[in-house]
Structures are given as C-alpha cells and as structure tokens.
Amino acid sequence: MYKVLEDTTTLLSRNLNTTYLDALIETSENLLAHQVIHEDGLPDQATTDKLTELYARVKPEQLTPEIIRQALQLTLIKVIQHDQIEPNKQMTPDSMASLASYMVTVFYPKLPNPFKVGDLAVGTGNLLYAVMNQLHQASEIDVQGFGVDNDEQLLALAGVSGQWQQQTIDLFHQDALDQLVVKDLDLVVSDLPVGYYPLDDRAKNFATAARSGHSYAHHLLIEQSMKTLKPGGLGLFFVPSEVFQSDEAKGLTDWLTKTVYFQGLLTLPESFFATKAAQKSLLVLQQPGETAQQAGKVLLGAFPEVSDRDAFGQFLTDVNQWAEQNIKK
C-alpha cells in the first residue's frame, strides 16, 4: 500500500503542479471514492489511466487501521522532506505514541468503554490515531477521537486518514485556543507546537499567559487541553525538555500547582530527535476528581533507549512500582 501511495502522490504532484502534501490528500480522496476525481480537466487521461491501474492494487477494506496509518506515515515522511514542512507540523514518531499509550495504562488499569481521546494540535492525526489503535488493540474497547487544528491541509489529511481507518473521529478546523465544543474527555495527548501565540487579547483569558508580550502557545494549549477533560482525566503532553527553565516557566508552574495534579515529567531518549536542542519530555498531568490524587512523589526521570531491552524493562518495573505507591488506592 505504501508503494501505491508514494507513486500516486508523485504522479499527481507532477500532473497537477502541486505540493506533495496536496497530492497525498488528493490520492487519498481518490482511494476513498474508488475513482479518480477530476477538476478542471485534471489529471489528464494518461495520468488517470496510470492512477487507476495503481489504485486497483489496493484493497483498503482488507487492511487493518494500523497498517493504513503506517502506510500514510511512511508516505508523509517523503512529503515532509520534499515540501520542507516546518518542524511544528511534522509527525510524531511512533515510539513516542507507544510511550504515551503505556502511560495511559499506568493511570487507567481498566479503561472505561467508550474511551474518549483528544488532541488540540492534531495535525495529520498520526499521534492520535496511533494511540487510539494501540488502546483499542490492548483493551478491545471503543475509542472515540476528537482533534482540533487550524491548518486546513493537515486536518484534511487527518480526515481522510480517519475515514480510511474507519475511526470514530470528530475533527474541528479552528484555533484551539478559541471556544471549544470538545469536553468530557478521558485523555488528551498532544505533541505541542513550540512558539509564541500572536493573539495577545485571547491569551489574556488564560492563567498561563505571559505577563507582557506574546505568550508561549504550548503553555496555553496545555491549559486549554486540561479544560476538556472529565474529572480524573489524564493529560499527556510532549513538551520541550527545558519547559520549566524558560522565562515564562513560573506562570506555568503556578497554574500547575493550583489547578491540576502534576504527576510526572519524563525526558525522552536523545535518539528520538535530530538535535539535543529539539529534545522533548513527556509531561503527565491529571485533572482532580473521581479517584485521582496528587502523587506523593512526582515521577521524574528519563525513558531509556527502547533498544536497550534490559534498561527499558527495569524502567517499566520502576514506573509500575511508583504507580502502586503513589497514585493507586
């Protein structure tokens, strides 16, 4: 399937004179429609014939959601390289999704059914769908997804990806820091974009806003995401490893300690990132309520390299022991 996606994306990009991202969206829509969609006489007949031949090799209904997601992910890697997509819009690696899913099982030994998961910086949906698939496979429950993004192209790809995988998903094209209809989620998981939020008047509605000048978008998104959770809901955020050492860290820390339960901060392996400066950590927060309680000892440390099986096995044992001693009644 990946080869078909790659080849048809290249064909459409050349024939329509468009970006690889637009071409990938177009070819995904063609596959969903079981036909080559034409607009203004394009693609031309020769390209249409070649596309039809390639599409005949794929039977999406015979593929699992995870295989479909992985095929799209591999194609997106080429799209990102070709279109030189900015870092904040790039995909979250599967290894990070797996770590997030593991942390969900730490806090939810038994997942409620249905289980509602949201991402307020959903992008192409790769992180959200990976977590949804993993939780469904592990627990055989219905997982419902909710995604928000202000990038119409990325959201369009998230939409066709969700349809293809037959996910139960609601996607919203809007500024995630505006008023939301998303609420009562069990989990929010997000690889947050890093940078400044330009709308100072809107930022003032948040406790994590900067005292002067532009506020950090990732601080505001953490606060907004936690508002979408039901009591006891879990927030998992991939944030810059230096998140508590920035100039605006005090505002974030004050809000955390007053409003939510700060349960953990785990640094991700350096091998996940191109440079040390790009390294991220997994911030673990929980909404008060239900059976949730502030951990007696916050979980701090670093994920070992996944390839180091002994170290990783010991790490999982340590985390499970921490959970028994600090958050489970």
- Asked if pLDDT for residue 16 goes beyond 80, the answer is yes
Other beta carbons within 10 Å of 309: 10
CB contact at 8 A, 281 and 296: no
Q: Each residue of 250-277: pLDDT tens digit?
A: 999 999 999 999 999 999 988 887 777 7
* Contacting residues for 19 by C-beta, under 8 A, at least 6 apart: 13, 83
Length of the chain: 329
- Asked if pLDDT for residue 36 goes beyond 80, the answer is yes
Closest listed residue to residue 70, CA positions, set 51, 101, 99, 91:
91
Determine the pLDDT at residue 19. 93
First to last CA, the chain: 47
Pick the residue with more confidence: 157 or 62?
157
Residue 18 pLDDT grade (very low, low, confident, very high; cuts 50, 70, 90): very high
Q: Which amino acid is at 207?
A: A
Highest mean pLDDT among 37-51, 220-234, 271-285: 220-234
Determine the pLDDT at residue 279. 85
Determine the pLDDT at residue 248. 83
Q: In the chain, where are the structural domains located? A: 2-83, 88-326
Pick the residue with more confidence: 201 or 59?
201
Q: Mean per-residue pLDDT for 119-141?
A: 95
Determine the pLDDT at residue 269. 87
* pTM tops 0.85: yes
CATH class name, domain 88-326: alpha beta
Q: Mean per-residue pLDDT for 217-240?
A: 97
Distance CA 328, CA 221 (A): 28
Q: What is the CATH number of domain 2-83?
A: 1.10.150.470
Determine the pLDDT at residue 207. 96
Q: Mean per-residue pLDDT for 28-52?
A: 92
Closest listed residue to residue 141, CA positions, set 105, 172, 111, 178:
111
State percent of the chain over pLDDT 70: 98
Q: Each residue of 61-96: pLDDT tens digit?
A: 788 999 999 999 889 888 888 888 776 666 777 889
